[in-house]
A and B are shown apart, each in its own frame.
Chain A
């Protein structure tokens, strides 16, 4: 059960472009509008496109079925772990900001050019939430797509559904 050759070709062309745009939105969350939730939803829309254009068997051939659940749980665990790392001051303390290391550059006050290497714990948290939202929405889409293949349990109902 897959769609026509035109749809499949266009999907194969735009699939990775959608993923790259979603990764851009996630990674630049502390500079431009958007962030983990929005970028994760954009990446998950590529899953929706793949599921609609190709068949369920192609999808299961490309992705292991545990991939999305690992992505979702791993994103959530990473998010809570980064929040707990700053527990020396408070929960969700931004302990990397202005420290000079990775993501630790200080920002000049006022209007300035964006620097990707700033903002402390915000970019890792953006990536964790992006992973979590991507896994969660993809899993919802996949299970709802599986729901379209539901077969009724008893025989009389299946006779009714056959016509």
Chain B
């Protein structure tokens, strides 16, 4: 019984994935490209930087970078709390 259930669920999810793959849009063509076009056309003018990736990471989505820095800070705190104080001299 368990074996049959396994095969049925396998076929079910395979069919769902294949159906999803048939309706996928072509690679490299996003459905809505308004945001990309805005970044590509205005990043040099607004941020005065040649590197569009840097202007997105530090200007348009700077809050995201702040979150990443906070994640790293939390990781350091965790490692320090794990290893500190256990060492004996």
Contacts and interface: CB of A to CB of B under 8 A. Distances in A.
A94 B47 contact: yes
Interface residues of A, number: 48
A118 B48 contact: yes
Interface of B is mostly: helix
Interface in B39-84: 44-51, 53-55, 57-59, 62-63, 65-66, 68-70, 72-73, 75-76, 79-80, 82-84
B86 interface: yes
Nearest to B60: A92
A35 B57 contact: yes
A106 B48 contact: yes
A30 B63 contact: no
Interface residues of B, number: 33
A53 interface: no
A51 interface: no
A35 B58 CA distance: 10
A150 B48 contact: no
B83 to A, nearest CB: 4
